[in-house]
Structure 1
Amino acid sequence: MKMKISVVIPVYNAEKYVANAVESALQFQEVCEVLLIEDGSPDNALQVCHDLAEKYDRVRLFQHPDKKNHGPGESRNLGIKNSTGDFIAFLDADDYYLPNRFNAEKELFKEPKVEGVYGALGVQYYTQKAKEQYYSIFKNRLTTVYRKYHPKDVLPGQLNMLGSFGLFTLDALTIRKEALLRKIDSLFKPHLRYHEDTEFLFRLSFYLDLYPGILDKAIVVRGVHENNRITKVDTKKINPASTRILLWKEIRDWVEKENEIHDDIKLHIRRMHRSFEIANAPTLKKWKMIIKFIFKDYYSIRSGLYNINFRQ
């Protein structure tokens, strides 16, 4: 089977890195197109994207109709809607694929039951300053799921309900487009400016059968520099607890409407939402919440006390 993969790259403030990302995707014959979604960058990224689209036949450039910044979620949605491939893969503009990126996918997707494949993400520090600032977050470890799990275990695994499960990321995920559009009512949530990928992966892992690919070595590399969106959150330039409250509220609203989700998963998500609310509440309200739940649901309190560590 000859795969036709559309690679969706949202581009914001990444003029230094996007050419490397694009060329890393174009190395694969299976990649039929690279869709650049320029998201109102303040730097020279738009011109760089224009140059790449002129240079490579397989590169297509898009912007939002108003030419403004809409965030990575809505940008990825625009890319998906304009894609022509049978499979969708994602790549951040400051990351890049390795030569083994689709080795597992080419075999696994021969089975129609396989609707998505995930792998492992490595890390590279683009500058010494970035390494000094962010090594404590990423170190040199793989971001990966630690062993091969059945698709039904992927959602509870991501929710930390199976112990040491690990993580996979959008960059290391490939999805069968037909299954995505048929089974998912809404794609990325545009109103989530942070953790929109996490919310999407939770829903995706419930509705689609996702299988493990290469887990013991990187298939894609996260490029770490001073202006990564994720590093801004994790280094508290943005209040991480407040963004996580919004994330877990979104997830909680979703599971409460989904009759097929097991009650244990719903309870776990309610507790996670409560825990971040407790962690981010003002002191007086925090103690009122602790007293309220100390008998009603002790596990919410225990998680909430732990999550206070995420506060500014």
Structure 2
Amino acid sequence: MKISVIIPVYNAEKYISQAVESALQFEEVCEVILVEDNSPDNALEVCRQLTEKYSRVKLYQHYDKGNHGAGATRNLGIAMADGEFIAFLDADDYYLPNRFDAEKQLFKDPKVEGVYGALGVHYYSTKAKEQYYRLFKDNLTTVYERHDPKDVFPGQLGMKGSFGLFSIDCLTIRRDAMVKKLNPFFKTHLRLHQDTEFLFRLSYYLDLYPGILDKAIAMRGVHANNRITVVDSKKVNPATTRVLLWKEINEWAQNENTISQDIKLHIRRMHRSYEIALAPTLKKWAMITKYLFTDYRSIRSGLYNINFRKDLF
């Protein structure tokens, strides 16, 4: 089993060594691919030192050495990977010793195209915990029960009740299946939530199986400069980014002929919900009136959604 671990690197000089060394502990990891995305700190030099220290660590940058975002950076890593399997790791996160225990068994079955597990939380400082404990607590990010692969896509969309979510840090993919069935990989025009959009499409096209769900196989590192904590601190409007995410998913779903009509309706309703909830009051009601005539089914189903009603009223 040969696994390529892809790590996009941006503004992570303090954490990248830990991430790399957590991946190198596994003999199944044939390479750790660092793709440096024009960091403002000293991350590039730290990456160079890691390539000198470890033969399995490879370093790449974009053709213009510029900043292209996490999506384009992961895509470059995929293009450079030689492994039979692909795993991802954020530069400020790290793997635990059980990271690939389930994969070693499950991937013996050729019909298994991907395996997902549970992500834990590590606070790098007391201040980080004080700031963001309400957001992450000590919870696992995981699918809560074991499900058939056909239920993973609607489950990720929220159509299966408290199904739960999995993280890209805890996903391992059979490379050939991803290359054959998924195009594009990460959408580069999405600067945030591109991993969520990728996971939605991946769970539709590939058969993903549960690995270890009851305990963490990797840890999310929480500190003041996380992309998600920057969003939470209101430097980026989280509602706006969710509208863009669901707009993207809706456009893909409506053009995918194999998706059922009930799933397309659910996705369209989610897009309408965020779109309307974000609008100013007068525009909100104008949009509702418009969609009552042009897209009544999605608005009617939206009004049954408690979060939609809470945001709306």
Q: TM-score range by the shorter chain?
A: over 0.9
Moved more, 278-287 or 14-23: 278-287
Q: Name the counterpart of 1:248.
A: 246
Q: Name the counterpart of 1:158.
A: 156
User: Counterpart of 1:117 in structure 2: which amino acid?
Assistant: V
TM alignment of 1:189-208, pairs within 5 A? 189-208=187-206
Once the two structures are superposed, residues 68-92 of structure 1 have per-residue CA deviations (whole angstroms, 9 ceiling, x without a partner) of 1111100000000000000000000
Q: Residue 291 of structure 1: CA displacement?
A: 3.4
Q: Residue 289 of structure 1: CA displacement?
A: 1.9
Structure 1 residues 240 and 91, CA gap change in structure 2 (3 angstroms): same
Confirm or deny: 8 A CA contact 1:130 1:224 kept in the other structure.
yes
Once the two structures are superposed, residues 123-162 of structure 1 have per-residue CA deviations (whole angstroms, 9 ceiling, x without a partner) of 0100111101100000001001000000000010011101
Figure out how many residues of one structure are paired with residues of the other and give that number: 307
TM alignment of 1:30-69, pairs within 5 A? 30-69=28-67
Stretches of structure 2 lacking an aligned partner (at least 5 in a row): none
Aligned-pair identity in percent equals 69
TM alignment of 1:106-255, pairs within 5 A? 106-255=104-253
2:24 corresponds to which of 23, 26, 30: 26
Confirm or deny: 8 A CA contact 1:277 1:304 kept in the other structure.
no
SS at match of 1:14: coil
SS at match of 1:66: coil
Stretches of structure 1 lacking an aligned partner (at least 5 in a row): none
CA–CA distance in structure 1, aligned partners of residues 242 and 311 of structure 2: 10
Q: Residue 299 of structure 1: CA displacement?
A: 2.7
CA–CA distance in structure 2, aligned partners of residues 210 and 304 of structure 1: 30
Q: Name the counterpart of 1:285.
A: 283
Q: Name the counterpart of 1:74.
A: 72
Q: Name the counterpart of 2:258.
A: 260
CA–CA distance in structure 2, aligned partners of residues 262 and 293 of structure 1: 21
Once the two structures are superposed, residues 45-65 of structure 1 have per-residue CA deviations (whole angstroms, 9 ceiling, x without a partner) of 000000001110000000001
Moved more, 296-305 or 36-45: 296-305
Confirm or deny: 8 A CA contact 1:274 1:304 kept in the other structure.
no
TM-score, reference length from structure 1: 0.96
SS at match of 2:265: helix
Q: Name the counterpart of 2:302.
A: 300
CA–CA distance in structure 2, aligned partners of residues 77 and 223 of structure 1: 23
Confirm or deny: 8 A CA contact 1:293 1:300 kept in the other structure.
no
CA-based RMSD of the aligned residues comes to 1.3
User: Counterpart of 1:72 in structure 2: which amino acid?
Assistant: A
SS at match of 1:34: strand
